[in-house]
Every structure is written in structure tokens, then in C-alpha cells.
């Protein structure tokens, strides 16, 4: 099972689903629509939905993938469900309590609600794809955060928005094929 978390301005995409279904032919793909304007409510609902998905796919391996703010959630949920999967994070926004303040209507109180979902002890193997042209996230902070538990891959493409899934297919295939089951 591949679970994908889109970013702040993102939404589920059919072409992304089609791509990930080619990574693992028999696996289920799940990409929930996340309401980042109501983060606590959205994350709490996701806990139940994901619990059901994971329990219904007990014999399948699980890979969490997330882009930008979805990367923050991918890491949280992998640890929340006590899985030791391979996690793939694409330009992850690991300080949403700071980066979200740039957006109209995002208050400090709402941004701070993400503090409750931070992961302290990074124990799962994580692949982090960082685009060095990214001007949204703090690249140095992210590299430091994942220095001991991750494989960091630097690319030079489009900045924060990642669209070249096919070009980096080998990264996703490698991550999926090296999974440890929940």
C-alpha cells in the first residue's frame, strides 16, 4: 500500500495515482484530500481512515510518501502507526508552525497546532528528496534533521513543486522494494 500526502495547495491527482500504481502492481494507493485550513480535525479524521486502510491491508507493505506539508504528515503517520516502513519525503515542510505563517489567514495559533504532530525520535529509514532550488523550506534545517536516519538526495529541478516522478522513478521503486512490513 502506498499512502501519499499532498502539500498545502495540493490535491489528489489521478496521474500521480497512476504513476505509483506502476511502482507496485498489486498494491493499493491512497491519497486523501487534506484540509490544511482545519489541521487538527483533518489529522484526527485521517488517523481513523488510515487505521482502517492499514488494517484492511495487513498482508501488504506500507510506504508513506509526502510532498511539502504532506511530508510532515507522512513522517508523523509512519511513526504514529509504529510502522518501520521506508518513508519518501519530497521537499518536506518540517517546520509548518513557521512556514505556514506566510499564507493569508494562517494564524500562529493554527500553525502551532502542528507542534503536537512532530516526530522526536526518527527511527524509520527515510529517503528525503531535496530540490536545491526550493525557496519555501529551510533546506539546511531539513538536512540536519534527517542527517542520521535518512538517505538525502539532492536534485536541481523546479524548486518546491515536484513534478518529475517519472525521472526519479528509481528512487520510489528502491524505497518500495526495500520495505519492512508494519
User: Could you report the per-residue pLDDT of 55-74, keeping only the tens digit for each?
Assistant: 887 777 788 999 999 999 99
* 182 found inside a domain: no
According to the model, what pLDDT value does residue 88 have?
Answer: 94
* pLDDT tens track for 109-150: 999 999 999 998 776 678 999 999 999 999 999 999 988 877
CATH code where residue 26 lies? 3.40.50.1820
* 44 found inside a domain: yes
The C-alpha angle 142, 82, 93, rounded to 5 degrees, equals 20
118 CB neighbour count, 10 Å cutoff: 14
User: For the chain, what is the domain count?
Assistant: 1
* 39 found inside a domain: yes
Dist CA 83 CA 63 (whole Å): 9
Which residue, among 162, 80, 98, has the nearest Cα to 127 in the 3D structure?
A: 162
pLDDT at 180 over 50: no
In DSSP notation, 58-83 reads TTS--EEEEETHHHHHHHHHHHHTT-
Cell of 131: 530540490
| Domain boundaries, position 111 | 2-177
Amino acid at each position: 500500500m502506498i499512502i501519499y500526502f499532498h502539500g498545502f495547495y495540493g490535491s489528489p491527482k489521478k496521474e500521480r495515482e497512476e504513476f505509483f500504481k506502476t511502482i507496485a502492481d498489486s498494491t493499493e494507493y491512497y491519497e486523501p484530500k487534506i484540509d490544511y485550513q482545519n489541521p487538527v480535525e483533518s489529522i484526527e479524521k485521517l488517523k481513523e481512515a488510515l487505521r482502517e486502510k492499514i488494517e484492511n491491508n495487513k498482508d501488504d507493505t506500507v510506504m508513506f510518501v509526502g510532498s511539502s506539508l504532506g511530508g510532515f504528515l507522512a513522517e508523523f503517520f509512519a511513526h504514529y502507526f509504529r510502522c518501520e516502513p521506508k518513508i519518501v519525503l519530497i521537499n518536506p515542510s518540517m517546520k509548518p508552525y513557521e512556514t505556514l505563517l506566510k499564507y493569508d489567514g494562517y494564524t500562529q495559533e493554527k500553525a502551532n497546532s502542528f507542534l503536537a504532530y512532530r516526530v522526536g525520535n526518527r527511527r524509520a529509514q527515510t529517503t528525503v528528496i531535496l530540490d536545491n532550488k526550493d525557496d519555501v523550506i529551510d533546506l539546511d534545517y531539513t538536512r540536519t534533521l534527517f542527517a542520521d536516519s535518512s538517505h538525502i538526495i539532492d536534485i536541481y529541478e523546479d524548486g518546491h513543486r515536484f513534478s518529475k516522478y517519472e525521472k526519479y522513478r528509481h528512487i520510489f521503486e528502491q524505497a518500495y522494494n526495500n520495505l519492512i512490513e508494519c
